[in-house]
Structure 1
Amino acid sequence: MNLAIGTKNKAKVSAAESCWTFGEVKGFKTESGVSDQPFGHDETRQGAVNRAMNAAACYENAAGLGLEGGVAEMEDGLYICNWGALFVPGFKEPFTASGASIRLPEELAEPLRKGQELGPLMEEYSKQQNIRQHDGAVGFFTNGRITRAQMFEHIVELLIGQWEYEKNK
């Protein structure tokens, strides 16, 4: 079965290509249906679900994958949060999973709370262009130990594992 991923982002497409062994992977520019900077787990998860459904509609008889990064407020500060969704034809609902979360420095958290996007803020903060296409905030703040692609690989594996479990029941 082929896979349509609802993005052209290099880190996300790379994660899908690393994990999906069932057919071809194609990236499609899709809408998330949520804010450009999703805030909270619910909105970030919904963006992933929307992207999965929209991607599946772009590629006949393919599964759809949505990967969405957002931020979520916790009692001690603002964290990055990441969600994925896998829609497989023949299953009633998409499978969903979340990934790594780390706290952001307050100098990034404050502008995010005021509506700015993490990607452009990270470019300025890190002095790296297109950081979201490569290591991302997680890579920057883990000193490269976990890249954005690796973080999303973990989510994709969680999604594939759920699907395999359900189809083999």
Structure 2
Amino acid sequence: MNEADITTTVNGEKVERSVAVRTSLVDFLRYDLCLTGTHVGCEHGACGACTVQVEGAAVRACLMLAVQINGKQVATVESLGKPDALSPLQRAFSKHHALQCGFCTPGFLMTIDAWLGQLPAGYLPNDEEIRDMLSGNVCRCTGYQNIVEAVRELTRARANGAAA
């Protein structure tokens, strides 16, 4: 089997590994690095459960190969917060009951976090913009309204200068 050496930074930690060139990023994160917050859903890029950030952009980890992250910065849901120190986004999800079974939640969180990082300071998106941003992630439990409410509250707090 062909292998390649990669050096990357995952959640702020330098990682050096030899990986099979056909290893998907989602498998590398879950099985080589034991970062199981990144979920395997459809394996076709349609559901968004495997969304992580590469160089700050939300990407589907099932559609990337591990060798493609060589020399790049990767963030998984584990980078957002800890159980005893949730990020503002995670707190907003909890407050608004924006998750039920939780399977899709890591993908939503990483998608939203990347999107928030691209918003101009003080910008307040409307619900249509929020729903459009969420449209690439599938949830079979929530009906999305609570997710929209969590994002709306968080963007309002950010626009008003609250730490996010």
Normalising by structure 2, report the TM-score: 0.28
Normalising by structure 1, report the TM-score: 0.28
Structure with the largest fraction of helix: 1
